[in-house]
Amino acid sequence: MVRALVRLIKRRIRRFSQLNHLISHDFLTSLLNRKAFLYRAEQELMRARRYHEPVVCAMLDLDCFKQINDVHGHAMGDKVLIRLSRLLEENLRRSDIIARMGGDEFCLLLPCTNAKNLDSKFDTMQLAFKKIVFHSNGTDFTTSFCCGLAEFPENNMLLSLLQSADNALGAAKSTGRHRVIMPGSPKR
């Protein structure tokens, strides 16, 4: 009787855990989804305020993603999204918060970090991603991403931090592909 009850409780805990994962994670990449990211980001900013620590927000967007879907199909577009998400997970710390915000847009929150310290890290990730060759119907292609950075405490509210990173991403995309820009920094 007790063993049966223990098994039942363990099964329900496992189901709850699975449901919680489905609710908070993107179905394709298994990264956090937008809602879960916003909650975790707000918690992280409260912690950063308390301890007077810097935080960087990065918004990433794939270059020419619509063209990838149109030419190579949505299944290949999904493979590109999954590969970028794995690259981010492999190159960032466990304490960094990574999310797929929707479509081909990703958002990262990097605690205890200054944007100056990230130039080489994002350059390295961009180069690594650019070297990945995707194979589709006898055709090989590569792609890249743009990135906009913003810092806390300069942007002291989550909304302003996200907006600043998004504006920097827009600036990066408008100056070409394969760019990383922070507001106030020279375009590179």
Q: Is 104 marked active-site?
A: yes
Question: How many degrees, rounded to 5, is the angle at CA 92 between CA 100 and CA 124?
Answer: 100
Q: Are 107 and 61 a contacting pair, CB within 8 Å?
A: no
Helices vs. strands in the chain: H and E counts, helices first: 6, 7
Which one of 26, 61, 96, 104 is the catalytic residue? 104
Q: Give kind and range of the element (H or E) at residue 89.
A: helix 74-91
Catalytic residues: 104
